[in-house]
Amino acid sequence: MAQMTGSGVPIAYDDLGEGDPALLLLTGWCSNRGRWADVAELASRRRRVVSFEWRGHGDSRAAPGDFGVEEMVADALAVVDTGGIGSFVPCAASHSGWVAIELRRRLPERVPKLVHLDWMLVEPPRPYMDVIRQLQLADGWPAARDTLFRIWQADVDSAQIRGALDAMNEHGADMWMRSGRVIEASYLEHGSPLDALAALEPAPPTLHLYGQPQSEEYLEAQHRFAGSHPWFQVRRLDVRSHFAMIEAPHEVAEAIEAFVSS
């Protein structure tokens, strides 16, 4: 593990393997880089893999104040610049996808492709946004967090998934309420991640790997989008939880490698 301070906040990261383009692994809100550990090890056998934690997360230093997507982009760019990374593919868990999209917008010549995992790519349904709004309330965020935990775990009996949830549970009101505010603001600004991706010029080849939600309607909506946007691919994995990279690390690593090397 190393730390760098290019964004003004010491950021912890792991740098494994060799080969371009590198994979830049982004965690979701309240997560640490342990969420990606198995995939990072597998993927690093064939290319460089850099995995880091946002300010205020894991081994990175606490944030000096409030922050959102802009500051998270600064953290990612600091890691990239400190590591001397040229071409790289952001592999984003959940709502770190907003950062991945912004990295592509700013650095189209260095970000040839995007990979998203376990993200609500369409315009979110009302029950989902109700939980996100509850997450922003001082008297509501614990119940909203627990609701998300139950949905995300999906009764999968896995020590690694329990560990990921335990790490998320270490964060308190400040971080969870912040996550709700930033997530809602991103949807309000862009409409949906698919809208944001389509607005990029040119749009990058993009792969979405996921397990939840398992509804056929959600998968079909992405297939329809792919039909009119051939740069987009989607693959629903044979997993039940929100943590595809934990539940099926070999499948995720192989799918990312096939996509990036194609």
* Nearest of 204, 26, 200, 50 to residue 112 by alpha carbon: 204
Which strands, in side-by-side order, build the sheet including 88-93?
2-4, 11-16, 49-52, 22-26, 88-93, 114-117, 206-210, 232-236
Q: How many domains does the chain have?
A: 1
Evaluate whether residue 146 is within a structural domain: no
Q: Quote the domain boundaries for residue 15.
A: 2-123+192-261
pLDDT classification of 166: cutoffs 50, 70, 90: very high
Among the options 116, 171, 242, 250, which is catalytic? Answer: 242
DSSP 8-state code for residue 195: H
Write the single-letter amino acid at 247.
Answer: E
Two structure tokens written together for 96: 């770190």
Evaluate whether residue 184 is within a structural domain: no
Instruction: Determine the length of the chain.
Output: 262
Q: Flag whether pLDDT at 1 surpasses 70.
A: no
Q: What is the pLDDT of residues 92-112, one digit of tens each?
A: 999 999 999 999 999 999 999
Evaluate whether residue 147 is within a structural domain: no
Evaluate whether residue 166 is within a structural domain: no
Residue-level pLDDT at 5: 56
CATH number at residue 95: 3.40.50.1820
Evaluate whether residue 78 is within a structural domain: yes
Q: Does the active-site annotation cover 95?
A: no
Q: What is the pLDDT of residues 21-44, one digit of tens each?
A: 999 999 999 999 999 999 999 999
Evaluate whether residue 187 is within a structural domain: no
